[in-house]
Structure 1
Amino acid sequence: MTGRRRTRSTFLHALTRPVRALRTAGVLVACASLAVGCGVVPGFSGGADDDPITVMTWAPQDTNATNKPGMPAMALAYARHVNAHGGINGRKLKVVICNDRNDSVHAAKCARRAVEQKAVAVVGSYSQFADTFFPILEGTGIPYIGGYGITNAEFTSPLSYPVNGGQPALLAGLGRHLASGCGPVALVRPDTIAGDELPNLLNSGLQAGGHQDADDLRAAEDATEFSAQTEQALTAATADPAKQGCVVPALGDRTNTFMDSFRRDREGYPAVRMGTVLGSVDQTVIDATGGASSPYEGAYITGWYPVEADKRWDGMKKVIREQAFTDTRIDPADAGVQTTWIAYTVLEAVVKALGDGEVSSDTVRRSLDDGFKVTTDGLTPTLRWQFQDVLASVGFPRLVNTDVTLQVVRDGRLVAAREGAIDVTKTLQDAEGEA
């Protein structure tokens, strides 16, 4: 380990790209039409008591990097479902969608669009640019319900209500799972101050299972080729011929680049298992890299929720069949789609609880802050947000779902590798103690 000072506030930036500077203040709105990935569920006119409840969902679409088109598509399907059954407390749900284009400027545009539309919440969304959109939401009091969990601000902002444990829980949980199924473990991660956090989290999980620490292999943050790290990882993971080792790439957007090198250079070495986390890899990435012939075949992947085949997803699948059967953007196995579904169930529960009272960003936020509890049919633990929660002392005051599931890629699909979930609260606390 280096002597560089590590801080919890920088941890998740190891898994995301740097925020690019805002170039202009007066910009056109990001969402113009459904043809470019933006649009709304048709509005409904009426008196004040009959006005639709407006929310926003944003995610990157049609970019050369991460794309999550299934999230806004799921939001629109959810709204169609709710409206087909009389709305929420008799009021229609209007969903404005926005394409953040994996760009800080457009992320800010989407947030300003939410303000212009008088959205009561931003729900089930994905953006890497919390530094540009959260100040806008916080300045106007719009809650952010169910972000994807890829930025530190999602676990620190008082306006954030996450439904999963983000990357911190996944990496700590991965160590717990690999401890019982792997020989030597090699971690490949960015050589940055933020990247220095990753071994602490993984190793705390390994130690909890009685396993030795992982070999810590560093790579340049902007590397475009990983042959040297592949050779180092394979050498370390195969050091014990009696046990099958595991390689864990935790390189964010560069994980696929590492896997290209790994697939090319692994010949001549004993077989090893791969382990990684959702956010670096999910079902859409597996599909895009070859499905059953993907280099991720056989890999362990920690996730936030039950696998797609679990019956607890039947409600979501029914809505997809009825409202979006021909929409190929919506994959029920995609963690983004699942997060959006859960986030909208939270929104609906809060609005229903408000009854005939005012539905606004203020009332939604106050309900959540007053200890409102949401059950999600077992897809998550009961969700309840309090700013000073159990993980506040280690820098994650909004992290309330510390459950992690273990999945494995089998025949190109993510399936359960073991029953149930584990709670990684103590693992996260122990990781902070080592930092």
Structure 2
Amino acid sequence: MTGRRLTSLLAYITTSAAGASLLTGCGVLPGATGGSREPVTVMTWAPDQTRATNMPGMPAMAQTFARWVNSQGGIDGHELRVLTCNEHNSTAGAAACARRAVRENAVAVVGSYSQNGRAFMAPLEAAGIPYIGGYGISEDEFTSPLSYPVNGGQASLIAGHGIQLAGSCRTVSLVRPDTLAGDRLPELLNSGLRKASHRGAVDIPAVEDAAEYTAQASRAREKAGEEQGCVTAVLGERTQTFFDSFRRLPEQEDGGGGRGGGAPGEDSGEENGAVRISSVLGSVGQPVIDRTGGAHSPFEGAFVTGWYPEAGDKSWAPMRKVIQEHAFADNRVDPADAGVQTTWIAYTVLKDVVEALDDDTISASRIAHALDRGERIDTGGLTPTLRWKYEDLLGAPGYPRIVNHEVTFQVVRKGRLVAQKPGFVDVGETVLSAP
């Protein structure tokens, strides 16, 4: 064999081996989408492995969504590239994630969680990067002209929760984080309670990342009283810790308490003389109920206000199918988790907008402009049709950019979160009336 033929043979073998290594795993070349358009790069961030609220399912859902759309040829021929970032529940972490999004030319931040709105919105605004479908935990998500929320945030949840509780609770104790974001919660809850001429809740601030809440639990139960009393806790991931402290309280104060001292009976709302517990989605959800005993959970019978239909609703079927086929048994991607659900809806918005632009190049400014001029997003019944034109904004003080002000009333029955009342409840006027 001549030297030239040997060299050619070696080159062929090397090229074939490289191609084979690229084809391992998914069976396609990484990034191959079948289209020739430029990739679309976005970022999703959330805190993980912190002492407070963690949302690892949100970046995991973003990666799952990307695997799905890229297996279908991308979004309108654009490969979707998802950057993820641990926000660490800190202002420094949030700012670092935002700066990385700018540095890596992300055209949007999608389906993310952070309480540190001021830290992340400033870098995004300076670079003109839209923030699509954040979790709704910071006020900046509802004030920045570059934020496009898909739900009504904590404001709608808490105001709606007041309405949900008003018909069943004579007295309400609210245990909430002693933080800037937590300071608004009593006003919002009271705005809902007062819709039914109910007196305001007793406000009990608590450290967000405490290891136990015995003192706050005791005070909350005492103030709620023994007859038609309700204890509401909105502490994010630490809500479970609070109710663990609550159920361990001596039983003499509430006449026996019922089911762990806090959640008697079924979901009828009829009073049985014991203190009833309640919360909102994100602080209590199906994953928490499953972890704490299902039908024997201390949350049995609890009232819960959510943004979206119950997890078993048929509207979630497309998301469930994508998770089943593309999450690869990643247990962070729980279809009943509110963070995962919000991320799915946020990426639905992104997909719709990119398809509507129908161009080889997608930029941050073009996405923001499309949303501002009134691109309508159909989420398949998970929310009302979303649109962010000026006339669609609620304009509530502190939350002017809310466009979805509908919530759902749910209850824990036999270990499952189910609808207490069918359909959505519009709480826009209640949010507007909050001080």
Q: CA deviation at 1:390?
A: 4.5
More deviation, 206-215/319-328: 206-215
| Equivalent in 309, 324, 327 of residue 324 of structure 1 | 327
Match for residue 22 of structure 2? none
Q: Normalising by structure 2, what TM-score?
A: 0.82
2: distance between equivalents of 1:372 and 1:427?
27
Match for residue 67 of structure 2? 80
User: In 1, are the aligned partners of 2:34 and 2:77 still within 8 Å (CA)?
Assistant: no
Match for residue 275 of structure 1? 278
1: distance between equivalents of 2:300 and 2:382?
25
| Equivalent in 368, 376, 380 of residue 379 of structure 2 | 376
2: distance between equivalents of 1:46 and 1:250?
46
More deviation, 176-185/157-166: 176-185
Unaligned runs of 5+ in 1: 1-40
Structure of greater Rg: 2
Q: CA deviation at 1:89?
A: 1.7
Match for residue 141 of structure 2? 154
Aligned to 2:50, what secondary structure does the other structure show?
coil
2: distance between equivalents of 1:265 and 1:339?
35
More deviation, 218-227/280-289: 218-227
Q: 1:416-427 alignment to 2 at 5 Å?
A: 416-427=419-430
1: distance between equivalents of 2:169 and 2:226?
12
User: In 1, are the aligned partners of 2:33 and 2:77 still within 8 Å (CA)?
Assistant: no
Q: CA deviation at 1:166?
A: 0.7
Match for residue 271 of structure 2? none
Match for residue 89 of structure 1? 76
1: distance between equivalents of 2:313 and 2:33?
39
Q: CA deviation at 1:222?
A: 7.7
- Partner amino acid for 2:246? F
User: In 2, are the aligned partners of 1:387 and 1:397 still within 8 Å (CA)?
Assistant: no
Q: CA deviation at 1:42?
A: 4.4
User: In 1, are the aligned partners of 2:31 and 2:70 still within 8 Å (CA)?
Assistant: no
Match for residue 249 of structure 1? 233
Match for residue 4 of structure 2? none
Match for residue 335 of structure 1? 338
Match for residue 270 of structure 2? none
Instruction: Find out whether 1:173 has 2:160 as its counterpart.
Output: yes
User: In 2, are the aligned partners of 1:45 and 1:51 still within 8 Å (CA)?
Assistant: no
Q: CA deviation at 1:217?
A: 4.1
Q: Normalising by structure 1, what TM-score?
A: 0.82
Match for residue 125 of structure 2? 138
- Partner amino acid for 1:281? V
Gap change, CA 1:287 and 1:127, over 3 Å in 2: farther
Aligned to 1:64, what secondary structure does the other structure show?
coil
Aligned to 1:333, what secondary structure does the other structure show?
coil
Aligned to 1:98, what secondary structure does the other structure show?
strand
Q: CA deviation at 1:299?
A: 1.4
Q: CA deviation at 1:265?
A: 0.7
- Partner amino acid for 1:326? A
Question: 1:107-153 CA deviation, whole Å, 9 max, x = no partner?
Answer: 22222221222111111111222222111111111111010011110
How many residues get paired? 388
Gap change, CA 1:64 and 1:217, over 3 Å in 2: closer
User: In 1, are the aligned partners of 2:282 and 2:339 still within 8 Å (CA)?
Assistant: no
Match for residue 51 of structure 1? 38
2: distance between equivalents of 1:320 and 1:196?
36
| Equivalent in 236, 239, 244 of residue 260 of structure 1 | 244
1: distance between equivalents of 2:180 and 2:138?
16
1: distance between equivalents of 2:392 and 2:327?
38
Gap change, CA 1:68 and 1:220, over 3 Å in 2: closer
- Partner amino acid for 1:247? V
Aligned to 1:392, what secondary structure does the other structure show?
coil
- Partner amino acid for 2:425? I
Question: 1:139-191 CA deviation, whole Å, 9 max, x = no partner?
Answer: 11111101001111010111111101111100100011111223332223456
More deviation, 394-403/124-133: 124-133
User: In 1, are the aligned partners of 2:393 and 2:401 still within 8 Å (CA)?
Assistant: no
Aligned to 1:55, what secondary structure does the other structure show?
strand
1: distance between equivalents of 2:208 and 2:58?
28
Match for residue 388 of structure 2? 385
User: In 1, are the aligned partners of 2:137 and 2:153 still within 8 Å (CA)?
Assistant: yes
2: distance between equivalents of 1:410 and 1:276?
15
| Equivalent in 91, 94, 100 of residue 113 of structure 1 | 100
User: In 2, are the aligned partners of 1:404 and 1:422 still within 8 Å (CA)?
Assistant: yes
Q: 1:153-232 alignment to 2 at 5 Å?
A: 153-189=140-176, 195=182, 197-219=184-206, 226-232=213-219
User: In 2, are the aligned partners of 1:409 and 1:415 still within 8 Å (CA)?
Assistant: yes
Q: CA deviation at 1:238?
A: 3.1
Aligned to 1:265, what secondary structure does the other structure show?
coil
- Partner amino acid for 2:347? Y
Instruction: Find out whether 1:300 has 2:296 as its counterpart.
Output: no
Instruction: Find out whether 1:401 has 2:388 as its counterpart.
Output: no
Match for residue 34 of structure 1? none
- Partner amino acid for 1:53? V
Question: 1:5-45 CA deviation, whole Å, 9 max, x = no partner?
Answer: xxxxxxxxxxxxxxxxxxxxxxxxxxxxxxxxxxxx94359
Unaligned runs of 5+ in 2: 1-28, 256-273
RMSD over aligned CA atoms reads 2.6
Aligned to 1:50, what secondary structure does the other structure show?
coil
Q: CA deviation at 1:285?
A: 3.5
Question: 1:287-323 CA deviation, whole Å, 9 max, x = no partner?
Answer: 4444444332321111100011000000101111111
More deviation, 133-142/214-223: 214-223
Identity %: 59
Gap change, CA 1:266 and 1:294, over 3 Å in 2: farther
1: distance between equivalents of 2:392 and 2:282?
24
Gap change, CA 1:105 and 1:44, over 3 Å in 2: farther
Match for residue 11 of structure 2? none
Q: CA deviation at 1:418?
A: 1.7
